[in-house]
Structure 1
Amino acid sequence: MRLNSWGIGVVAASTFMFNQTLAESLPKPIEMLAQQGLTIVDTFEAPGGLVGYAARFQGQAIALYLTPDGEHVLIGNLLNLAGEDIAAEPLYQAVIGPEQERAWNLMANAKLVQDGDVNAPRVIYTVTDPNCPYCHRFREAAQPWIDAGLVQLRHLMVGIIREESLTQAAAIMGAPDPTAALEQHLARLNRGGIEATPRFVRIGNDVIRDNHRIIRELGISATPVVYYRDNNNHVQVIRGMPQPNMLEAVFGPRP
């Protein structure tokens, strides 16, 4: 669902008023942390008479726990008997989730290179530089799932690693068939990759410019960056090549 500008304004105003009201009623220890740069987003239930606060600091989600006397605050993980962090879900819902969903929507509305069956059930967005070796390794790791029709990659092409990355990314996006152009590039990696045909570069330049705006907005300065949905339908992000033990979390059960 897309919100019109009026709807977005209402949501933004409501969020502002909620955070303003929360800030005005903060206990002293929490207010002290807010004055040091933490953004207090929401409260959540916590055991033992504690009051949980979901906060953000320098892009990271942080859990705070106000003690029953209202004079002390604990910062960090609070585990239950199963060894689970009780703040994981509240932090996702209040801080991490909205930011990750925003990133997912930015990717979904960008011009991308389709890689794999468009009807494959698992969609994965990846920020890809034509000359990024870890991007190539990620693509190779995905091959069994793509061949089985289980996964589709959608590449947000950027050019940030080498001087020629920019023109090659533009040439791929400006080609009549970007999917075929990316395949050609991958097949020719040992020979320098795809030729940056000037006509295609001119066509693709605007797309790459838009893609660079997206990665700046998301604070991305290296590749690959992988966005996927976990078994709870939560958007997760991995910066860099996923470790081997993470591949099934990203792609699903091995075919």
Structure 2
Amino acid sequence: MQSQTKVETYMLFSLYRATRPLPALGVSLGLIGALAALPALAQTATQPAATAATPAPAPMPKSVDVPDAVQATLNKLTGGTTKVLSAFEAPAGLIGLAVSLGPQKNAILYATPDGKYVIQGMIVSSDGENMTQAEAKQMLPQPPDAAANFASLDKTHSYLWGKASAPKEMWVLFDPNCIYCHKAYDALKPAVSAGKVKVHVIQAGFLKADSMPKAAAIMAAKDPAAALATDEKNFDAAKEEGSIKGDMSDKDAVAKVTANNTWMQAQGIGGTPYVLYKDTAGKAQEIAGFDPNIDGLLAKIGPSS
């Protein structure tokens, strides 16, 4: 009997009418750069265990022209800021759209041929294949990988959350108004407090108008980790807002947050939280989004350098 391997897949969908504006595109879970506010439905699927043979690459999706109605809807929903790089045949009769949302911000969207609906999210087949991920690899410009991002950490400004003597470490990109950063903070807090891991926090500020002032206030604090704790302690989950008061008076802090934002865009990182670490083999790894399995994550992280 062929062995079966259990695979976790995530289905993230949001349907938008032509009359409803798309949300701000900024937070990334996986490949789509705007899923921070969308609910995630976890689905467990099974597929045969991998064999020694290298699987054949997936065929390129068939290219199609962008219907005028679809282009008009995208222009209306995004204020003309979204550029269609290419269009292709997608599952279920949908039109796939490889789009640019700005510098180093690319995504796969879907639309009905009549242009009445735009779908933002991942399509997962019944056998567990992430169709959107495969399409993104084929249709989108690929950003630097984890190794390149890790090697460029010297361009960032971070502060330490946790004990310097902790045996493991990670780098996490946070926005003070990011709901999934808040979830990650709460999930990591017991391990950080117990001295199991230390976190180098790369403070960004881009999600909302007051994200930059709040991020600058944290960076300017005598104890940035304590300021972060204040922001997270009274985080308003309903409004997705951190509780710290914004402050742009410290120009050095503003410059550091700005540099972190610039690094994020230059490296093609779609949003927050974004995690970098080195595994037990010393290889750089990344996580785009919130992973609630902290124990599993800690088991993968190698010793601090």
TM-score (norm 2): 0.47
After TM superposition, list the pairs within 5 Å mapping 1:112-151 onto structure 2. 112-151=158-197
Deviation at 1:100, TM superposition (A): 2.3
Q: Contact 1:228–1:250 (CA<8 Å) still a contact in 2?
A: no
CA distance in 1, matches of 2:178, 2:287: 15
Q: Contact 1:128–1:155 (CA<8 Å) still a contact in 2?
A: yes
1:192-249 deviation digits (Å, cap 9, x = unpaired): 511113423x3311001110111011101211111122222211111111143xx233
The alignment's C-alpha RMSD in Å is 3.0
Which ranges of structure 2 fall in alignment gaps of 5 or more residues?
1-51, 55-97, 99-103, 105-141, 301-305
SS at match of 1:231: coil
2:245 counterpart (195, 218, 223)? 195
Q: Contact 1:107–1:156 (CA<8 Å) still a contact in 2?
A: no
What is residue 154 of structure 1 aligned with on the other side? 200
Q: Which amino acid aligns with 1:199?
A: S
CA distance in 2, matches of 1:219, 1:184: 29
Q: Which amino acid aligns with 1:119?
A: S
- C-alpha change, 1:198 and 1:214, in structure 2 (3 Å) is closer
SS at match of 2:181: helix
After TM superposition, list the pairs within 5 Å mapping 1:41-120 onto structure 2. 99-108=145-154, 110-120=156-166
1:251 equivalent in alignment to 2:278 = no
Q: Which has the higher contact order (CA 8 A, sep 6+)?
A: 2
CA distance in 1, matches of 2:160, 2:219: 11
Q: Contact 1:142–1:251 (CA<8 Å) still a contact in 2?
A: no
CA distance in 1, matches of 2:178, 2:204: 10
CA distance in 1, matches of 2:242, 2:184: 19
Q: Percent identity?
A: 26
1:207 equivalent in alignment to 2:253 = no
Deviation at 1:114, TM superposition (A): 1.0
CA distance in 2, matches of 1:239, 1:100: 10
Q: Contact 2:171–2:276 (CA<8 Å) still a contact in 1?
A: yes
CA distance in 2, matches of 1:141, 1:243: 7
2:278 counterpart (201, 209, 229)? 229
Q: Contact 2:187–2:292 (CA<8 Å) still a contact in 1?
A: no
Q: Contact 2:248–2:254 (CA<8 Å) still a contact in 1?
A: no
Which ranges of structure 1 fall in alignment gaps of 5 or more residues?
1-46, 51-57, 60-95
Work out the number of aligned pairs and report it: 161
CA distance in 2, matches of 1:147, 1:174: 23
Structure showing greater radius of gyration is: 1
- C-alpha change, 1:252 and 1:151, in structure 2 (3 Å) is same
CA distance in 1, matches of 2:275, 2:209: 23
What is residue 184 of structure 1 aligned with on the other side? 230
SS at match of 1:120: coil
| More strand, by proportion | 2
SS at match of 2:258: helix
CA distance in 2, matches of 1:252, 1:109: 28
- C-alpha change, 1:249 and 1:228, in structure 2 (3 Å) is farther
Q: Which amino acid aligns with 2:295?
A: E
1:176-200 deviation digits (Å, cap 9, x = unpaired): 2212221221223248511113423
Q: Contact 2:147–2:285 (CA<8 Å) still a contact in 1?
A: no
SS at match of 1:189: coil
Deviation at 1:108, TM superposition (A): 4.8
Q: Which amino acid aligns with 1:111?
A: H
1:242 equivalent in alignment to 2:291 = yes
- C-alpha change, 1:197 and 1:228, in structure 2 (3 Å) is same
